[in-house]
Amino acid sequence: MSKELETLRSHDAAIRSKDFVGAAIFFCYNDYRTHVGDRGVGSLQQRVHGVVDLYGAHKESYELLRLESSPIESLTVEHQRNKFAVLIRVRHDLPMYTLRGYRLRGLFFGEGNIPVERQEVDLPNAAPGSETKLELAFTQSEEPMHLQIDVLRPTSFSAYFLDWKP
């Protein structure tokens, strides 16, 4: 694990260890140009400590920040052929809030690694520290090559992503 990833993970662990901390903000999302930059020359001087670069390309720390900022602690999958039981564990630490209006989406990839079916189910309201088991049932008769699973926020942005393989 790189130094940047270790730093992000250790800072989040320190914040989560304090029961009096109610919120945290990550600075800074993107690298940016500045005349006092510590990297680059001339008009390309920049501060390089974001999770995306100057052009919006994801850096190594992007996915870790995404997971660390999610209200979902973990997601596990049990399956039988084309039916999947998905267990969602909601964080009981930062960020901690009741999930309302969230959905579970599964994208089934068949032979040739082609997406062939998508299913979505509503996630019931889920309090911090709770577990919810939902089923994704597909009409495909074969087992998938892999299944992409997202927990979607009410805005349709993904709060948690898992690329599951049998």
**Same domain, yes or no, for 59 and 82?**
no
Please indicate, yes or no, whether residues 40 and 94 belong to a single structural domain of this protein: no
Q: Are 84 and 158 in the same domain? A: yes
Strands of 72-80's sheet in order across: 72-80, 83-90, 131-137
Predicted local confidence at residue 22, as pLDDT: 83
Residue predicted with more confidence, 148 or 50: 148
Give the mean model confidence (pLDDT) for residues 120-146: 96
The span from the CA of 27 to the CA of 145, in Å, is: 38
Same domain, 78 and 118: yes
Number of domains in the chain: 2
| Res 27: pLDDT | 77
Mean pLDDT along residues 154-161: 96
Does 122 lie in the same domain as 61?
A: no
The CATH number given to whatever domain includes residue 90 is: 2.60.40.10
Give the pLDDT confidence score for residue 131 in this predicted structure: 98
Q: Based on the domain organization, do 95 and 59 belong to the same domain?
A: no
- Summarize pLDDT for 43-89 with one digit per residue, the tens: 778 787 888 988 899 998 898 898 899 999 999 999 988 999 999 99
Q: Looking at the structure, tell me whether residues 103 and 56 fall in a common domain.
A: no
Determine, yes or no, domain membership for 19. no
Q: State the pLDDT confidence band at 137, using cuts at 50, 70 and 90.
A: very high
CB neighbourhood size of 70 (10 A): 19
* Same domain, residue pair 91 and 131: yes
Other CB atoms within a 10 A radius of the CB of residue 88 amount to: 23
Residue 93, token pair as written in the block: 């630490």
One-letter amino acid for residue 148 of the chain? Q
Mean pLDDT across the chain: 91
Structural domain boundaries enclosing 108: 72-164
- The answer on 152 and 76 residing in a single domain is yes
